[in-house]
Amino acid sequence: MSIFRDTTPELFDLHCHIVPYVDDGAEDMEEAKNLIKEEYSQGVRFIVMTVHLRYGMFDTSTEKARRHFDELKKWLLKSDMTDLEICLSREYYCDKRFEVILDAYIQNLDSVVFDEKCYSPKEEIIPFGNKKCILLEFSSGKYQKDEYKKFIKKALQAGLTPIIAHTERYPAVQNSPELVSELVKDGAYIQVNCDSILENDSKVICETAKTLLKNSSVDLVCSDVHDMSERITNMKKSYSFVKKKYGLKTAKLLFHGNAKYLIMD
C-alpha cells in the first residue's frame, strides 16, 4: 500500500529584482544577498533575476546588469546554498524601443539604432530556460489590448516564449479577465504576483488575481520581490495559501511544475 506524502516542492521564482544597482530593486550587494538568503529559506531553489528594461526609466546596460549578477553568482558558489540555481534575464517593458530591438532580433541583425543610440539585439534579449522565455511588462495605467497580442506575436516570431508579468495589474484584464484566455491561445504564459493573491496590493489588483486563479488562468506565481522592507518575498506563504484554497495539485503546478517545464523541458 503506497502512502501519498504532501511534501513541499522546490519552488521556482521567475520574476524578481534582486540584482543590485540596476533598477528599483536591491539597493546594494548586502541587500541582494539577504534577499537570496530569504528566498532560499522559503524553499526557492531556482531564481530568474529579471532586471527592468524600460525606456526613459530603467536604462541600465546589459553589461552592467551582467557584471553585478556575476558578483552575486560568485558569492553564491562560496555559500552554503550551492543547490540554488540563478540566472539573469530582464523584465521587458513593451515600449517602442523594445519593439525596435525585438524586430531586429527577429531579423537576426547585429545592431539597430534607436534614438541615436546603437543596440545589439543579441545582447539586449536575454531569454531563460530551454523554452527561451522572456518576461513582458505592459502599462498598469493605460487600457491596452492590441499591444498584448502584438508583442506576443513578435516574441513567438523571434523563437521566444512570452510570459506576461503580473497580469492582474493591467486595466484591460481587470475589466475583462476572460481576455487572458485569448492571450493564452495566442501563445503567452500568465504570471501573477504573490502579494496580489495574499491581498497585499490594491483591491482591484487582488480581486483580479483571485479571479484568474479561480478560472484556472494562471501558469506561474512569482515574488516580484524588490527589497527587504516593502516589496518582500512571500513565496512560501503564497504557496501555502494556494494549496489550502485551490488544492495541492494547483499549488505544485504554479510554483514548481509549470516553471520546471519552461526551464528544463
At 184, list the grid cell: 493564452
Regarding pTM above 0.85, the answer is: yes
In this prediction, residue 6 carries a pLDDT of: 55
Residue 259: name the closest of 123, 66, 40, 85 by CA. 85
- 132 within domain boundaries: no
- 265 within domain boundaries: no
- 102 within domain boundaries: no
Identity of the amino acid at 66: R
- 78 within domain boundaries: yes
Q: How many CB atoms lie under 10 A from the CB of residue 43? A: 15
Segment 31-54, tens digit of pLDDT = 999 999 999 999 999 999 999 999
- 40 within domain boundaries: yes
User: Please, what is the average pLDDT of the chain?
Assistant: 95
- 21 within domain boundaries: yes
Give the number of domains in the chain. 1
In this prediction, residue 4 carries a pLDDT of: 41
- 245 within domain boundaries: yes
The Cα–Cα gap between 252 and 232 comes to: 21
- Mean pLDDT of the region 148-172: 98
The Cα–Cα gap between 191 and 169 comes to: 11
The Cα–Cα gap between 203 and 209 comes to: 10
The Cα–Cα gap between 196 and 206 comes to: 5
In this prediction, residue 166 carries a pLDDT of: 98
Give the pLDDT band (50/70/90) at residue 144. confident
In this prediction, residue 3 carries a pLDDT of: 42
One DSSP character per residue, 149-164 reads: HHHHHHHHHTT-EEEE
In this prediction, residue 53 carries a pLDDT of: 98
- Residue, of 170 and 143, whose pLDDT is higher: 170
Residue 230: name the closest of 4, 31, 15, 41 by CA. 31
Residue 89: name the closest of 111, 74, 69, 119 by CA. 69
In this prediction, residue 235 carries a pLDDT of: 98
Phi, psi for 86 (deg, rounded to 5): -130, 150
Segment 227-264, tens digit of pLDDT = 999 999 999 999 999 999 999 999 999 999 999 999 99
In this prediction, residue 253 carries a pLDDT of: 98
Segment 3-17, tens digit of pLDDT = 445 578 999 999 999
Provide CB contacts within 8 A for 179, sequence distance 6+: 145, 148, 172, 173
Q: Which CATH number does the domain housing residue 226 bear?
A: 3.20.20.140
- 142 within domain boundaries: yes
- Mean pLDDT of the region 143-165: 96
Give the range of the structural domain holding residue 221, as residue numbers without chain letter.
11-91+137-149+161-258
